[in-house]
Structures are given as C-alpha cells and as structure tokens.
Structure 1
Amino acid sequence: MTNLNTSNPLLSVSTLKNRAVPFHEIKNEHYLPAVKEAIQQAQRQLEKVVDHSESANFENTIEALENLSEPLDYVATIFYKLLSAHSNEEMQKLAGEIGPLLSQFSNDVTLNPELFKRVQSVYDQKAQLTLSTEQATLLENTYKDFQRNGALLDADKKQTLREIDKRLSELTPKFAENLLKATNSFEMLLTDPSDVTGLPESALESAEHAAKEKGHEKGWLFTLDIPSYLAFMKYADHRELREKLYKAYASRSFGGEFDNQKVLKEIAKLRFQRAQLLGYPTHAHFILEKRMAETPEKVHKFLDRIAEVSLPAAQKDITELQEFVNSQQGPSTLQRWDFSYYSEKLKEQKYHFNEEEIRPYFKLENVIAGAFEHARRLYGIRFEKSSDYPTYHGEVTTYDVYSEETNEFIGVFFADFFPRSSKRGGAWMTNIYRQGLFMGEVMRPHVVIVCNFTKSTPTKPSLLTYDEVRTLFHEFGHALHGLLSKCHYRSLSGTSVYWDFVELPSQVMENWTLEHETLSLFAKHYQTNEVIPKELTQKLKNSSLFQAGYTSLRQVSLGKLDFAWHALDPSGVDDVPAYESQVMTPFNAVPEVPGTNLSCNFSHIFAGGYSAGYYSYKWAEVLDADTFELFKEKGLYNKEVATSFKKNILEKGGSEHPMELYKRFRGREPDPDALLRRDQFI
C-alpha cells in the first residue's frame, strides 16, 4: 500500500508507532472518497493479475489475490469497526452507500471468468505443486470462495447474484441501524423512591448518574443498555415497572418507526435465493459446507441431543421456580418479567449467595489486571499500558503486548468497555490489523475488545457483575486468538477459522473464572483489598449450575429459530411473530408476551455474521468443556497443556482444518459428553 492520497488519512501509510491508525485525523467525509479510490486501486491490481504474461502459478495468482486489496481492506475495516463501536447518523447513511460498493467489487473479483480460469489452473495443478500446509489451505479456500460466490454461473445468473449481494449489503446494516435506534429511543425516568426498592446501591448510583448526564436534576434513569436493563429486571421489586421495561426491550424493532419485520424477511428470502442460485438447497447448506458441523442434519441431531438431556433439567428448574413464586406471593402465573427477579431470590435462598456480595471484589481495573496475569501464566506474555496510540473515543485504552521470555513485540490491545449511544449493545472482539502479510511485511495484530459494562460513578469505581467478568474473559479469549496468531496470510490468521470453532478460545477462558486459584489473582475488595474468601468462591461455583437446564434449552431454542429462518424456504413466511411462535413454543417455559418478538432484534443472525451459525455457541461448549477437563486433570496453569493449546490452536488460526488442530492438541476428537458432564446432565 503506497500513499494513494496524502490529504486523506485513510489512504496514507501511517507513520505512527506500529502503523497505528490515526483515528484522531479521520472524519466522516474521508470514508466514501477513500473507499472509491481504494476500489479503483484494487481494480488496477486485479487487471494486472488477470493480464499477467506468465502462466498462472501460486505466487502470481493465489498470493496476488490475497494481497489484492490491502488499502480497501484497511479502509473498510476501520469504517465497520467504528460503525459498531462509535457510530452516528452520518455513518449509518454512509453504510448504505459503502456496503453496495464493496459488494460490487467483491463480485467483480469472484465473477471474473478470466481470473477464475487462472485460479482453476493453479488448483488443477495442486498435486504437482510443492506447497506448505498454509499455502495449500489458502489455495483450497481461494478456489472454494470463487466457486461458492458464483464463478461457475452463467452470465444471467451472475447478474442476479450481483443484485442479491448488493441488496443484502444494504439490508444487514439497516437491520442493525434500526435496532440501535430502537434501543436508544426508550428511557424510563423514575423519581419516586418506592419505584426503585430492591435495587442494589450500585445500580441506583449508575441510574442516578445516567439521569444527571441527561440533564435531569433528580431521579433514576433506566435504559435498554444491558447493565441498566438487567439490573432492573433482576432486582426491582416494582412488578409493573419490570413489565414495562421487559416489554420495551423485547419489542425493540417490532413494529413502529424502526420495525425490522420487512427487513428480516427480505434478508432471509434473499439468502435462500442466493443459496439456490449456487446449487445449495438452503442458506444453511451453503454456510455449513465450511463448518465443522458440515450439514443441517448434523446440527439438528446435535441440538436435539442437547435438548433431550436438557429438557428434564429445564422442567425441574421451572417447576422449582414456580413453586418458589407461589410460596412468595401466593399462586400466580410466572411471567417473563418475573423470571430474573424470582430466579435471583431463589438462588439467594438456595445457595445463601447474592451476586451483589461478590461484586465489590470485581473492580474493573483489577479484573483487567487479572486477565493479563492469567495470560502471562498460561502463555508467557505481558501487557504494558501505552498512550502512544490514537483511539476513536476517549474511554478506549491501549496496551503493547510482549513475550515475557524474549521481549518480542506481539501486538497492540485496545479495550473499550462502557456503553454509549454511539455503540451497539453486546460484547465483541475485532481486529484493526489482522496478523499476517500486509504491505510487504508480516504484521503483528492490533485487536480490540468492545463491551458494555457498568460505568464508574463519582463515588464508586466500575464494579462488574460475575456475568460481566465472564464476558471480559470470553472476549479476552478471542483477543488472545488474534494476538498469538503466527500465520503468513491474513485471511487465515487469528480468528479466521470455522465459525463453530471460533468460540473455543473464548469460551474455554470462562472456565477459569469459577476457580479460586484464578479468582485469587484479581478478586480483591475495592475498599479493603481483601482477597475473595474461598467460601464465597465456592458459593459462586455451586450457583453456577443454577438453572443450567433452562439455560441450555434456551440456547437450543435460539439455534432452532436461526435454522427456521435459514434451513428452510422462508418465502412463504408472511407473519413473523406467528412463524417464530411456531418454532419457539415447544421450548417456552414461560408464556409468550403479545407485542414482543425475538427475530426482530436477533442481530447475531441478521446483522452479525451468525446466520445458520448460532448453534456454534453450543458446539464450541463441547470443545471447551473437553479442553478444560485436560487443564483440570493436569493443572490449571500447566505449562505443557497451555503451550500445546497455544501452538496447536491459537497460533495456527485457520491454516489447517480445525478438527486436525484439535486432535493434535487433545490427542483425539472431542468427547461430546464432556459438556453434559460439566452441566451435570449425566
């Protein structure tokens, strides 16, 4: 990548430390011109590959394609990173223009018949070529990507595919935009102290602080941001207000100004049409061709097995909760806005444990330091806070990462922890730079984790819930997958793996957060600095399987809903809530609430890349339970096991088939019963 335009920071080679992105210089007006210019440059490179005078070989075709659009990849990465983490109205409008341009260029590559001839020529010679394992994977992936994106279609069908891809590139950001606007459009200001009884001091302080930030002189402001919403649903005694908040959350983008019903129906129909055009029965068949699960039939079988063993436990969980509710307020039907509230009270009674008891031990800064120490003990790396890197928001902090043994630079870690109106909900990890070949050298990665944790207040630091601690470790696991990657090609590095494998490095990290050996590294009372007592850790561990059956069945139901939209022909679906109800009713432990709908805010599958892939969370739980059994057997910080996981899983990215990598680490295929043992279903 040479400087394409020195006046546009997105088109200039960064001269900052480790090629840091100059976020402080980037303005909204830079994006569209940068995308257009980078596309032109990539098209010129494309012509060079197609018109190359020599016969097609690995270097002049496959490797050239890998590096074809470096400036464009850079611009698009930054734009979409900020669209999720620090967006505004103008960027959301730009997404509607930029998405189709990128889709069109992608089609220009994969639908170019002369280029595909060159790719096919190299692919046909693969048995005679002397390629490394990673090169062989890149060749296989490149050929399959062309095939799966229409290279074998005739001209008319190629044009249809272009039109479908263009429309999808407009619809998926529209779904996310609608959901963000719907989430931000609701606020509940309470001024009567009787409305907030039951809420812990931490939640009240945050709500009071939120009210003041919005210009209210007094009162408590509750929103649909996860920390605010969950605290109210779990602790607020006021049932009617819980109902009001629940209905607002569960009806986001269902009807009204930001309705997603038409959007999601069109997305599902177009994905189905696209799959059929390419010769696949459904979108799920298309997606699963490049997954460990391989076919929809295998996924259904897997989910049905989990459902079969979860169902008795889930029924027991619900019966126990209903009996508890009856004992508390007399016989009454358990409603969805009661679930978290009474579950928390039952858990407290059953385990003599309240999550607020442990919260003072989870000061955010200590948890971060604990995650870093955890990584040091496992993988021999250290994190050093740095102010050398520009960030896209003042709350983002940056760290340099080094090998403890050799002092070798490993990468840059960005942490963005707090909710804001410009950020979508949830938690995720992303890359600014992927590890691998970029601009002529193998670059170390710049990775980001983005969360929505409870903010500090003027009188109290940010104290995390246990769920937030687990979320931080989860996303940190993804970050380590990105940081520790040792691949040559960017498209194969870090988290560029099959989607039902990508959650292994993240989900396995959550296991350590229930172990006293790990918690004692960082769980210290924010006022006294006392290490969390062992008895409290044990109570946390005992309560971790509370409602495990219900939780497992809930995950299965979401996987089934995803497949209802993507493993069947959705063209006959007119009534979104009726269709959803048909799928979810067998799994509903608590009655459905009229006027609410999950599909309309199911951003994972309609805007987040998990279409026909939500099952992968459960799939990866099998892998992570099986992996953690080995750590439990050999020692939580056993160097031999940790080094094997690092070398065979984290460093390899997608350079080999995940089952081969897993077998190399574990010595065998994963044991599906490991998850059932952990959840105590068998």
Structure 2
Amino acid sequence: MTGHRPDNVLIGPWATPFGAPPFDLIDRASFRDAFDHAIAEDRREVDLITNDPAEPSFENTIVALERSGRLLNRVSATFFNLTGADTDDTLKAIERDIAPVLAKHNSSIYLNDALFRRIDLLKGRRDELGLGEEEVRLLDKWHKLFVRQGAGRPAEVRARLAEIGERLAVLGTRFGQNVLADEQAYTLRLETEEDLAGLPDFMVAAAREAAAERGLDGHVITLSRSSIEPFLQYCARRDLREKAFRAWIARGEGGGETDNRAIIAEMVELRAERARLLGYASFAHFRLDDTMAGTPERALELLRSVWGPARALALREAADLQKLADAEGGGFRIAPWDWRYYAERLRKERFALDAEGVKPYLQLDRVIEAAFDCAGRLFGLNFTERRDVPTYHPDVRAFEVTDREGRHVGLFLGDYFARPSKRSGAWMSAFRTQWKLDGEVRPIIVNVMNFSKSAGEEPALLSFDDARTLFHEFGHGLHGLLSDVTYPSLAGTAVPRDFVEFPSQLYEHWLEQPAVLRRYARHYRTGEPMPDSLIERVLASRQFNQGFATVEYTASALVDMELHLLPSAHNLDVVAFERATLESLGMPEPIAMRHRTPHFGHVFSGEGYSAAYYSYLWSETLDADGFAAFEEAGDIFDPATAGRLRRYVYSAGDLRDPAEAYRAFRGRLPSPEALMRQRGLLAVASEAEM
C-alpha cells in the first residue's frame, strides 16, 4: 500500500450525518493522493482473493470481490459526482490524469487470468454450490462481466483490450470536458430592449440572473438547455434565434482544442476493434448482447417502427408552422431555429396555452413536494430536510428519507440550478449505493438538474417539461433509494441500460394526474390552485408537437446505432456520416437531432448510452403500458399495484431478468401499441398501413 497524506479526509472514516462526504473539509487537490491510496488498497484486496490457496468458493471469491474496492468506490463516487456537478480546473486536471489510471487498474482485475479461472470454475459448478437465487444471479453477473472484458482470451488479445480501455477512458474524458468548455465559453448578450422582444418576464429574469452569475451586466443566454430552449421558444428576433441555435448545435465542432470530431472517430474505431477482438460483428452487437433488446436488429425494429409515423406527423406539423409564418408575411421557409418559436405560437392558438400561463403554478419547491408526496402515497416514504448534512454547493439540499415506521431509508440530495461549473442536462447518481452484506448500508442518492434560477426573492418557476424532468430523475432516485438487495453489484440502478429508464419514465405519469396538479400546482403569488380549465388544456396538449419530439430523439438514436454498427471506422468523417444517415432517413429539414454527434455526451462521455440511446424509447414501451396497471385498478396509488411495482422493480435492483421483472409486476409483457398511443402516433401508423 502506498503512503498518503495523513490529513487526507477522503481516506479516513467520515464522522458526518449518515456518512455523507465531508465536503466542507475536502481539499480538492487531495483527490489524486486518495485515488493512489485507494487503488493500491483495491489491488492488495484482489491479490489476496487471486492468490488464496483454498479451493475457490462462492464466499472466498465472489463475496470477497463484492467486499473489495470499497474505498476506491467511495473516492470515485465523490470525485466523479463533483466533476459533473461542480467542477473546477483542479478537478479537470485530476480527471484527465486519473482516467487512464483507473482504466488500467480495472483491466488488471478483469483480465487477470488466475482470478478468472476461479470465477469460471465456480460458474461451471454453479448447480452444485447450493446457492440461492440472488447468489446465482450474482455469480452469473461476475462471470459475464469478466468475459465481456476479455477474460480467458489469449494474452496478446488481453493486452490490446487493456490498451483500448485506457485510450477510450482518455478520449471520453476529453470529449466531456470539451463540450463543457464550449458551453462555458459562450454567452449571447441581449443588450437592448429589442433584443428582449417576445421574452416573457420569467425568461428576462433568468437571463438577468445568468448574467449576474458571470459578473456581467444586462442579460445573457447560455448554452444550458434550460436557457436556450425557452429562448428559442419565445424570442421574436429571428436573427438572434439563429445565432443562438447555431452556437448550440456547434458544440464540439468549432475547431481548435475543443473540437470532438477526431475524438469521436477514434472512439468509434476503438470500440469496433474491441468488439472484433471479443468475437462480435460490431460494437452495437457487443453492447446489446447484455440488454433486454438483445440485438441491434430488435432495437432498430422498434426505432424504425416509430420513425415512419413520427416523420409523417412531423411533416404535417411543419406544414402547419409554415402556414403560420406565411400568414405573418415571414417570407422564409421554417428552419430549425424557427420551429420552437412557431410551435409555441401554434400551441397558444390551439389550446389557449403558453408557459406564461403555466409557469406561475409550477414553483420548484411545490413540484419537489409533489414528487415526495407521490412517493409517500405509493411507497410510504417521508422526506425531512436536513441542514446539518454537508453539501458540495450552497444550492444543494439534503433530505433524510424514512419509511412508514420511521426507519432510515437513505439520504437524498437535490441540486436543481444551472451554473457554469456544472455540465448541462439532468441526471441521477449515487454517492453510496445500498447493500446488506456485512450489515445494512443505506444509499446516498443525488438528483442534478439545470433549471434557471430566479432573480432576487422570487421563487424558481418551472415549465411543464422542467417539472416532468424533475419527476423523471426522481424516479431514478427512487430506484436507488428503495433498493433492497444483499450485494452491491446488484443494487439500485445496476440493471440493463434499456430497463433502467423504465422506473424513471413511469414516475413521470404521476405529474400529469389532475389530482396531483390540483394539490401542488398553485400560483406562486396568490396560492390559488391551477384552474381545472388550465389543467385540461395542459393535458390536452400532451400530444402536441410529438412528431417533432419523436423525430429529434429517434434521429439521434438511429445515428448512434448506425455509427456503432460499423465493422470499422477507419478515416471516419463523423459529420459526413451523420449527414448521410439523416439523408437516408429523410430527416425533415426544419428539425435537428436532439443531440448532434460532436456533443452527444450520452454516447461519448464514457459508454453509458453508446449504441444504447434507443433505451429511452424501449423503456417508454414499458412505462406506457405499466402506468395502465394503476388506471385499470381504478386508483393511481393502488396499494396492491404499488406493492408489486416496489417489489419487482424499484427495490429489486438486478435480482432477475428485466423481462421477468416486468412480467412479475404487470402479469405480461407490453406491446409497442401503448407507446404509439402515448405519443399520438397510432392513428398516423394506421393510415400508413391502409
């Protein structure tokens, strides 16, 4: 074990409430020292397992692996949560430095022939070991993990796989830091009253607050989605919309040090090579071999079944928007920077509905309360704010979660506002996962958002889409909080990628229930509940603009899949490939991909959704059908249905195959028809078949 600074609080025990990271005491520069110490400790623990002279057993091999690396997991979780949510130059430098070191360390474990022989021996004797269902699942998971990393392959193959892993770690880190750098570097200054034309009061206030955060006068628009999307929705200045939109979609493609095109080409080539070395036709085949879909063909079947009706609907929507622009004497064809603006105008015309009328009823604090209350009514949870828990930023709020009997369930952190030190988007993560091995350990879960902060004493107000995002990420949070398994590797969200979105997307449905809106959607000034007529218009507009939304998402998923189906990516021009793929699909000209490839962080800031961005649509097939179980029960909080949902989904981690888990909850597998109906595509699909 290497030496370390004795004052490094990252290494010793944490005497904080619930064992939360002592953020107020952490010297960020000390993370490298902590990583070195934790890696050395993990190496020592794995060596003891590998060299154990006793005959391999489930206890001395698999359980011992579950116990190993806890310090490294703790340091890593703390560090990488900070690099996403509150980074600085110190953390960025350490992240660039440590990424290949961690990759090399992981390869030294997963490509360790002697260790794999122990696991492989146990796998071959699995039926003789007298294991329970959870233990069988765990053994199979460890064996598959080693095999998918290259264990058991010839030495030269293992060496090359290790090199590829290290290089991909370096490239993924650079990709993410480049996108963040482009986002941090850009602001659109709104310097005159004319520049503010069309912007509602809440947007003007948010732009003023964004300027103040950056030490600027006046108003600015940033490349955070919570800033730029409303700007594109309301700004009456077409020239400013175009300028902002072009900056937004050019992230990672501007030339210079932050250009990601060469990085992507190398990553796709390395992923394809790794797949070949492991015996797969492409990286997509490798990636999906361990998912619900199972093969790229099944994922593509779903994507293509949706693409046709979605494209047809989007073209109808485009024609409607063009009529609106023409009626105003615009004299131009609708472009991507026009779509949100005219769609908002059309929404107001058709439904007498706009964000100015909805946002005053969606205070951030009230939406948080609504998410907590639904969790209480479904699963018996209570949330109590704790101001004695250290947090990594003043905006972060901490809540203790308890059950009906007052027992501790976990700690929940909410980090809701955009800032320059945070990457864009919204996500759930864990500072600590749940397990019951060697005593009960409860999770510490965080939800990170990028909502616009209000100015002065005014409360933060959300759009309906923002509120849906909060419920979505809280659904992920519940998946982590309610976890009730023995082993860390099976806990919480450690499930196949195309199942992990099911609990989060399902939870969004409760936001849209009139009973929930009547209780929690209250005007921030008067306290009056959202009028029933407004609730009806909000819900009636759910399928408005769904052609656009489905096309921009599905285009991204299809480009992701096609990139990773390439058997080789030598000399890949990723932008030309993206363009050619979209042309072959007949991508409507006025719509851009939701995530263009040069800034597609889901896919290239690591491997989270690589060849797997389709997962949101796959999971939506489950959630559209899954919520119907509550509707069929006649109660959106039906105890029996909620009990099955908790037992087989939210608390079950990776205890069973996802299809089996869904069938246990619902009684059957879903049909894509529920998804098509939810997105308003069923009628369009039926017309196409006639």
Matches within 5 A, 1:216-255: 216-217=216-217, 219-255=218-254
Which whole-Å CA distance do the structure 2 matches of 1:47 and 1:597 have between them? 43
TM superposition shift of 1:23: 1.2
- Letter of the 1:68 partner, please give it: S
- Letter of the 2:113 partner, please give it: P
Kindly indicate whether residue 36 of structure 2 is the aligned counterpart of residue 62 of structure 1.
no
Matches within 5 A, 1:629-648: 629-634=628-633, 635-648=635-648
Q: 2:687: which partner in 1?
A: none
Q: 1:462: which partner in 2?
A: 460
Does the 8 A contact of 1:283 with 1:567 survive in 2? yes
Which whole-Å CA distance do the structure 2 matches of 1:607 and 1:90 have between them? 19
Q: 2:191: which partner in 1?
A: 191
Q: 2:276: which partner in 1?
A: 276
TM superposition shift of 1:674: 1.0
Matches within 5 A, 1:543-622: 543-585=541-583, 586-591=585-590, 598-607=596-605, 609-622=608-621
Q: 1:494: which partner in 2?
A: 492
Q: 1:414: which partner in 2?
A: 413
Does the 8 A contact of 1:260 with 1:600 survive in 2? yes
Structure 1 residues 573, 622: closer, same or farther in 2, change over 3 A?
A: farther
Which whole-Å CA distance do the structure 2 matches of 1:10 and 1:293 have between them? 40
Does the 8 A contact of 1:111 with 1:158 survive in 2? yes
Does the 8 A contact of 1:196 with 1:236 survive in 2? yes
Does the 8 A contact of 1:553 with 1:587 survive in 2? no
TM superposition shift of 1:581: 0.5
TM superposition shift of 1:631: 1.4
Which whole-Å CA distance do the structure 2 matches of 1:22 and 1:308 have between them? 52
Which whole-Å CA distance do the structure 1 matches of 2:548 and 2:225 have between them? 21
Per the alignment, in what secondary structure is the counterpart of residue 502 of structure 1?
helix
Unaligned runs of 5+ in 1: none
Per the alignment, in what secondary structure is the counterpart of residue 450 of structure 2?
coil
Which whole-Å CA distance do the structure 2 matches of 1:509 and 1:94 have between them? 36
Per the alignment, in what secondary structure is the counterpart of residue 127 of structure 1?
helix
Which whole-Å CA distance do the structure 2 matches of 1:40 and 1:578 have between them? 45
- Letter of the 1:546 partner, please give it: F
- Letter of the 1:34 partner, please give it: A
- Letter of the 1:106 partner, please give it: N
Which whole-Å CA distance do the structure 2 matches of 1:215 and 1:435 have between them? 42
Equivalent of residue 482 in structure 1, options 480, 483, 499: 480
Which whole-Å CA distance do the structure 2 matches of 1:503 and 1:79 have between them? 24
Which whole-Å CA distance do the structure 2 matches of 1:452 and 1:336 have between them? 23
Which whole-Å CA distance do the structure 1 matches of 2:571 and 2:518 have between them? 53
Q: 1:182: which partner in 2?
A: 182
Q: 1:530: which partner in 2?
A: 528
Per the alignment, in what secondary structure is the counterpart of residue 281 of structure 1?
coil
Residue deviations 1:330-369 (CA, integer Å, cap 9, x gap)? 4521111101000100111011111220100111111111
Kindly indicate whether residue 524 of structure 2 is the aligned counterpart of residue 520 of structure 1.
no
Per the alignment, in what secondary structure is the counterpart of residue 451 of structure 2?
coil
Residue deviations 1:184-210 (CA, integer Å, cap 9, x gap)? 111122221011110000111121233
Kindly indicate whether residue 400 of structure 2 is the aligned counterpart of residue 376 of structure 1.
no
Which whole-Å CA distance do the structure 1 matches of 2:568 and 2:582 have between them? 16
Which whole-Å CA distance do the structure 2 matches of 1:119 and 1:110 have between them? 11
Which whole-Å CA distance do the structure 1 matches of 2:395 and 2:477 have between them? 19
TM superposition shift of 1:511: 1.5
Matches within 5 A, 1:270-349: 270-349=270-349
Which whole-Å CA distance do the structure 1 matches of 2:39 and 2:487 have between them? 21
Q: 1:53: which partner in 2?
A: 53
Q: 1:214: which partner in 2?
A: 214
Does the 8 A contact of 1:604 with 1:611 survive in 2? yes
Does the 8 A contact of 2:548 with 2:591 survive in 1? no
Per the alignment, in what secondary structure is the counterpart of residue 452 of structure 1?
strand
**Identical aligned pairs, as a percentage?**
35
- Letter of the 2:662 partner, please give it: Y
Which whole-Å CA distance do the structure 2 matches of 1:551 and 1:62 have between them? 45
Per the alignment, in what secondary structure is the counterpart of residue 314 of structure 1?
helix
Which whole-Å CA distance do the structure 2 matches of 1:301 and 1:190 have between them? 45
Kindly indicate whether residue 35 of structure 2 is the aligned counterpart of residue 35 of structure 1.
yes
Does the 8 A contact of 1:208 with 1:220 survive in 2? yes
Which whole-Å CA distance do the structure 2 matches of 1:255 and 1:552 have between them? 27
TM superposition shift of 1:305: 1.1
Does the 8 A contact of 1:265 with 1:570 survive in 2? no
- Letter of the 1:490 partner, please give it: P
Structure 1 residue ranges (4+ consecutive) displaced by more than 4 angstroms after TM superposition? 3-6, 591-594
Which whole-Å CA distance do the structure 2 matches of 1:597 and 1:628 have between them? 28
Residue deviations 1:71-99 (CA, integer Å, cap 9, x gap)? 11111111111110111122111112211
TM superposition shift of 1:572: 3.8
Structure 1 residues 143, 597: closer, same or farther in 2, change over 3 A?
A: closer
Q: 2:686: which partner in 1?
A: none
Does the 8 A contact of 1:380 with 1:403 survive in 2? yes
Which whole-Å CA distance do the structure 2 matches of 1:163 and 1:228 have between them? 40
Which whole-Å CA distance do the structure 2 matches of 1:597 and 1:506 have between them? 20
Does the 8 A contact of 2:480 with 2:491 survive in 1? yes
- Letter of the 1:240 partner, please give it: D
Matches within 5 A, 1:65-104: 65-104=65-104
TM superposition shift of 1:590: 2.2
- Letter of the 1:447 partner, please give it: I
Does the 8 A contact of 1:4 with 1:12 survive in 2? no
Per the alignment, in what secondary structure is the counterpart of residue 399 of structure 2?
strand
Per the alignment, in what secondary structure is the counterpart of residue 499 of structure 2?
coil
- Letter of the 1:367 partner, please give it: V
Does the 8 A contact of 1:435 with 1:445 survive in 2? yes
Per the alignment, in what secondary structure is the counterpart of residue 562 of structure 2?
helix
Per the alignment, in what secondary structure is the counterpart of residue 160 of structure 2?
helix
- Letter of the 1:632 partner, please give it: E
Unaligned runs of 5+ in 2: 683-690
Which whole-Å CA distance do the structure 2 matches of 1:245 and 1:549 have between them? 23
Residue deviations 1:385-440 (CA, integer Å, cap 9, x gap)? 00121111111010000002x111100000000111110000000000001147x3
TM superposition shift of 1:569: 2.6
Q: Normalized against structure 1, the TM-score is what?
A: 0.97
Does the 8 A contact of 1:411 with 1:445 survive in 2? yes
Comparing 510-519 with 334-343, greater Cα deviation is found at 510-519
